Amino acid sequence: MKTHASEMKKHPNPWKTGLQKFIKNTPAVVAAVVFILITLSCVLAPVITDGDYYTITKEDERLGFTSEHPLGTDALGRDLLTRLLYGGRATLKIAFVALICGAVAGSVIGLISGYFGGKSDTLIMRLVEALSSVPVILLVVAVECALGWGEGNYMYAIALSFIPTFAKVIRAAVIDIVGNEYIEAARALGCGHFSIICKHIIRNITAPFVVQVSTSAAEALLTCTVMGYLGFGLDPPLPELGNIVAVNYKLIRSRPETAVIPCILIVICAVSLNLIGNGLRDAFSPENRSA
């Protein structure tokens, strides 16, 4: 028992150690709190506002800050706060579903490629490199043409664009793990591929997976915003952050806040996600665990 306790002290739980380091990173923690508050506000949009983000009201066009419309209205008389909350909810949902789908698919591909190696590794990585050479906007156009416009199908294109990144990161992590002695010992004991992958590989690539997800989150959000701004997003009157900016930029001279406020919200979300990603990377990177 003493030996086991001493081993636990020598090899502390990396997740516990990483979380403790993350909590000590004040910018990352503040960013996490800010992003959680924004996300909760978007999720609770029906509670916070009346939910009317689509009705065009002629007499309410281009109103300033009022008690009824805290952030004013746009050129069509629609409440800007309501549209931001519902637009944020749509954008965040599309961005994170796309990110998780791309991350899981890319990680599975990278795991298979790194674990089995050989010709399969060469073939898989050539296909991954070919996919990474295709611009996101071409993937979006192809997917939207195939599945239909204005329904958020560009989410699948963004997911495809994340597959190469995660495949390469996870493949590199798996190759490092496969070369360890305990993997050879497991094989010598008769453990099959499935057992080794589940017991030894997956548990050791979880940290790099989480770190890569967190560092890619801001990219996913900004990509969704750009696609919405370019008109590849949801059909009106459904709002998303990109098309809110696209609609309101025409008022940049007469009512600049209608375009500036959505941009500020996008910047806050992107910066928060970047700070969170940097904090997780610093906390869980192998070279910093012993620090």
pLDDT in tens, 134-144: 999 999 999 98
Q: What distance in Å separates the CA atoms of residue 160 and residue 190, rounded to the nearest whole number?
A: 37
Residue 188 included in any domain: yes
What is the pLDDT, as a whole number, of residue 78?
Answer: 85
In this prediction, the residues of the chain whose per-residue pLDDT falls under 50 are 1-9, 289-291
Q: 14: cis peptide before it, omega within 30°?
A: no
Residue 19 located in a structural domain = no
Rounded-to-integer distance, Cα 144 and Cα 232, Å: 8
3-class secondary structure, 152: coil
Q: What was the pLDDT predicted at 286?
A: 58
CATH, residue 135 = 1.10.3720.10
Q: Give the C-alpha separation, 106 to 205, whole Å.
A: 13
The count of domains in the chain is 1
Q: Please choose, from the candidates 103, 256, 122, the residue with its C-alpha nearest in 3D space to the C-alpha of residue 166.
A: 103
**Within a domain: 87:** yes
Mean of per-residue pLDDT scores for the chain? 85
Assigned domain for 253 exists? yes
Cβ–Cβ under 8 Å, residues 250 and 75: yes
In a domain, 73, yes or no: no
pTM for the full predicted model: 0.85
Q: List the domain range (segments joined by +) for residue 194.
A: 24-43+78-285
pLDDT at 105: 96
Cβ 107 vs Cβ 75: under 8 Å: no
Q: Which residues contact 108 (CB under 8 A, 6 or more apart)?
A: none
What percent of the chain has a predicted confidence (pLDDT) above 90?
A: 41
> What pLDDT score was predicted for residue 152?
81
Q: At residue 117, what is the residue type?
A: G
- Does residue 263 fall inside a structural domain? yes
User: Which tens digits make up the pLDDT trace of 187-219?
Assistant: 787 788 788 888 888 888 888 888 889 889 999
Is 211 inside any structural domain?
Answer: yes
**How many Å apart are CA 144 and CA 63, to the nearest integer?**
36
**85, part of any domain:** yes
